[in-house]
Structure 1
Amino acid sequence: MTSRPVRIGLQLQPQHMDYDTIRRTAAEAEDLGADILFNWDHFYPLYGEPDGLHFECWTMLAAWAEQTSRVEIGALVTCNSYRNPDLLADMARTVDHISGGRLILGIGSGWFERDYNEYGYEFGTAGGRLDALAEALPRIESRWAKLNPAPTRKIPTLIGGGGEKKTLRLVAKHADIWHSFADAETLEHKLGVLRGHCETIGRDPSEIEVSVVGKPDSRDRMHELGARLFTVSTGGPQPDLTELRDMLAWRDKTNG
């Protein structure tokens, strides 16, 4: 069982609201005590009006890096397909410096076909996109080692997804944080798979922080299983931080 403290993230979905609202909500989340502020890496809304208001991920993270002072920031998650891996490494290093060392590089293989079609990326297959992620992660790590100035710290890498043969093997090799959308029963199984991949490569699985969706009815069981990062989400047109407040109170009680 890990001794990590519980942390709470807010995914502020950059959809269906103007940027002033996003800015105010980000500030309020930090003031309330959120540990991490996430957005997502898409070009169109995922819910509601499909052509509704929407903003880009990484330019927003740079703005959050200046606006905030305490919370860690990142994408849940960056789509590997949308940027050259060396460029993404440089972008992450730059936001890391702007924020004073508060960036988390959340990354995944991508899945939202409309993004690809509208912006001219090849959608391909799920397996092919995972293979591309496997090629990108060492390039990102290599670029970080070459950049001048270097990152302010070892930038934590969060990998999202639950595929047992490819994704969890990448988590074992590269991730500091693994984010799962699974329910508790599935999480328990996948943690066993992840431990197996870690054993194969000789890594201590306790080095990987387990990240899940924060839900009141499952959070205690998820915590028993080893999850320590719990993220709730809100979006426009009127973002609601009620769930965040509840999870922060639970965090403080759980951490004692």
Structure 2
Amino acid sequence: MPTEHVLPATGPAKVRTRPVRIGVQIAPQHASYETIRETAAALEDLGVDVLFNWDHFFPLSGAPDGLHFESWTMLAALAEQTARVELGALVNCNSYRNANLQADMARTIDHISAKGGTGRFIFGTGSGWFERDYDEYGYEFGTVGSRLDALAVDMPVIEDRWTHLNPAPTRKIPVLIGGGGEKKTLRIVAQHADIWHSFSDAATLERKLGILAEHARTVGRDVAEIEVSTEIGSRSVAEVEEHHALGATLFTIGITGPDYDVSHVADWLAWRDERNAQGPLAW
């Protein structure tokens, strides 16, 4: 990934060279798979950079027992269907699957998506939070702390497994970690993530970036290696610009079934293109 200086600094100007990207999270709920497939194709044709789903077993909004599909099998299908976009979960739940199995599934989707070139899979992961998923599928819910501890233990196992698989991944599979816990989550991000997904407003993001930089220094890593990701949601252009000024470059729009509204995606793609045409951002 291109280098980006995430935090402002005194002294000579620092230049951000990582481009702005737009992702769309297709919530796999309340829609037929045919509709999801068609929506993914339309979004790739529009020019989005990343397609995400989520890793839950039941809808997170609307009718609690409405239509819903599983994340990883869908990602494998989307990897075969698409040709250009990157794809992944926002985010995978680490608790549901053995760490070595997660690594193997990620490597396999990486190859499915390569189409003779480099893979397009992003390993987006987190510790899990939706208790119904655990209760109904027979997983131990534990506590926030225990689930984060498990993620911290499993990430090195996943990374090590990637070095032993035959065939190996087509590239260093990018790791996206979501969440903003300051003591545990951001330390895991500093140790393992290529992308950090934040749910914060601008003021909170600025503070957490400082904490992330401290964790990075502690573990001996350059925080500029970590791309900053956030959600567009209902934010205005001005609010998104605030996040961009702080260093965010991956912005995700969430859409949900039964009828996925992609009408506003083109406006954000135009904003992306305008931003990128302006060239590197310097302080």
TM-score range, shorter chain: over 0.9
Q: What corresponds to 2:11 in structure 1? A: none
- SS state at 1:146 partner: coil
Q: What corresponds to 1:229 in structure 2? A: 250
How do residues 172-191 of structure 1 correspond to structure 2 at under 5 angstroms?
172-191=190-209
Q: What corresponds to 2:261 in structure 1? A: 240
Moved more, 213-222 or 137-146: 213-222
**More helix by proportion, 1 or 2?**
1
> 2: distance between equivalents of 1:74 and 1:124?
25
> 2: distance between equivalents of 1:244 and 1:83?
33
Letter in 1 for 2:95: S
Shift of residue 244 of structure 1? 1.7
Q: What corresponds to 2:45 in structure 1? A: 31
Q: What corresponds to 1:196 in structure 2? A: 214
- SS state at 1:107 partner: strand
**Deviations along 1:116-162, whole A, 9 cap, x unmatched?**
00000000100000000001100000100000000000000000000
Given that residues 38 and 75 in structure 1 are in contact (C-alpha distance below 8 angstroms), is that contact kept between their aligned partners in structure 2? yes
How do residues 66-77 of structure 1 correspond to structure 2 at under 5 angstroms?
66-77=80-91
Aligned equivalent of 2:137, options 96, 119, 130? 119
Given that residues 162 and 168 in structure 1 are in contact (C-alpha distance below 8 angstroms), is that contact kept between their aligned partners in structure 2? yes
TM normalised by structure 1 equals 0.99
> 2: distance between equivalents of 1:230 and 1:244?
11
Q: Which has the larger radius of gyration?
A: 2
- SS state at 2:163 partner: helix
Q: What corresponds to 1:15 in structure 2? A: 29
> 1: distance between equivalents of 2:268 and 2:249?
12
Q: What corresponds to 1:147 in structure 2? A: 165
Given that residues 232 and 243 in structure 1 are in contact (C-alpha distance below 8 angstroms), is that contact kept between their aligned partners in structure 2? no
Q: What corresponds to 2:273 in structure 1? A: 252
Task: Let me know the Cα RMSD of the aligned residues.
Answer: 0.7
Structure 2 segments unaligned to the other structure (5+ residues): 6-15, 278-283
- SS state at 1:116 partner: helix
> 1: distance between equivalents of 2:250 and 2:135?
33
Shift of residue 240 of structure 1? 0.4
- Count of residue pairs the alignment pairs up: 256
Shift of residue 3 of structure 1? 1.8
> 1: distance between equivalents of 2:266 and 2:260?
13
Shift of residue 216 of structure 1? 2.6
Structure 1 segments unaligned to the other structure (5+ residues): none
Q: Percent same amino acid at aligned positions?
A: 68
Does residue 169 in structure 1 map to residue 187 in structure 2? yes
Shift of residue 247 of structure 1? 1.2
Shift of residue 246 of structure 1? 1.8
TM normalised by structure 2 equals 0.89
